[in-house]
Amino acid sequence: MKKDFLSISDINNLTLDAILSETAVLKDERQRGIKQESLSGKSLAMIFEKASTRTRIAFEVGMFELGGHAIFLTTQDMQLNRGEEIRDTARVLSRYVSAIMLRAYHHQTLEEFAQFSSVPVINGLSDREHPCQILADIFTIKEHFNTLKGIKIAWIGDGNNVCNSLLLSTPLTGIELTIASPHQYLPNPKLVASVQSKGGNIHITDSPEEAADNANVLYTDVWVSMGDEKQRKSRVNAFQGYTLDMNLVSLASSDAIIMHCLPAHRGEEITDEVIESKQSVVWDQAENRLHTQKALLKELLLHP
């Protein structure tokens, strides 16, 4: 049976370990100039409803470096823009390509695509989750600390799609996650309760200082995500006091690292001083999107 990757919870801890191990191999081989052709003859259709930098480039370069081919498409380029149904597009693309990556406004679009596709469908971002980002984040943390279990992450800011995927990953990793957000922007309580029932170590607070206390990782994201622009003023007002600055960094563990999935709005959710500090691993985190997405493609296409 084909495997989809719509959510970080679509994989188990054994598959996660395999992806992380393969990521380390692929990163090392790339640095040493060793080429792989393991996806030779395979094609990836990449469909974008939303703009993209890291997701698009990492998948496109990743397919190229593995000997495959990536096709960039926006919905404006396709008959979807003229009313063709998702299920029809999914069926047709499945006859042409080896996998489909979709970056969508609504998670339901991904679910319908996967339902009618006979090849793997990958979530390149939706309003509900961003699992490809979390693969890179988990790898970056393990790369830095050489472990995942017991690592304390402070998520400071919007309980958005990235936060949801991070939250869902905790039963797989043993990471302890504290989410600090204004009440109205916290993750769905039912989701939190569900993850906790599966062994996720999750804490909720409205205090950035409480979250940052003795944390190993300080993580933030934009306050206004794509699709939320009409709420910009109210969101910026609500998140006053949630800026990741050096005062919060000083509360964390002395070896704490700073993470941000980018793009960053410096001066809003994070200060320039923090993102440019020696503790920032933001650029490693961004680079690792390439390596983890290559490992994910191999997992989906070579190990059905």
Distances 160 to 97, 208, 218, 257, 288 between C-alpha atoms, Å: 31, 16, 16, 21, 21
For residue 273, give every residue at least 6 positions away whose Cβ sits within 8 Å of its Cβ, in sequence order, or none. 245, 246
Contact 177, 201 (CB under 8 A): yes
Strand 121-125 and strand 99-103: pairing? Answer: parallel
Query: Which one from 132, 221, 291, 293 is the annotated catalytic residue?
Result: 221
CA-CA distance, 19 to 80, in Å (whole number)?
Answer: 33
Instruction: Report d(CA 66, CA 62) in Å as an integer.
Output: 6
Whole-number Å distance between alpha carbons of 59 and 125: 13
Indicate if 30 belongs to the active site: no
Residue of 130, 235, 260, 291 marked active site: 130
Would you give the DSSP letter of residue 188? P
Could you tell me which residues come within 8 angstroms of residue 263 by beta carbon, excluding any fewer than 6 positions away? 53, 222
Of residues 4, 54, 107, 133, which has the active-site annotation? Answer: 133
Q: Where are the beta strands (DSSP E) in the chain?
A: 43-48, 69-74, 99-103, 121-125, 152-156, 176-180, 201-205, 217-220, 257-260
133 is annotated as an active-site residue: yes
Q: For this structure, is 289 an active site residue?
A: yes
**Active-site residue among 4, 54, 103, 137?**
103
Q: Is 261 a catalytic residue?
A: yes
Q: Which residues are catalytic?
A: 103, 130, 133, 221, 261, 289
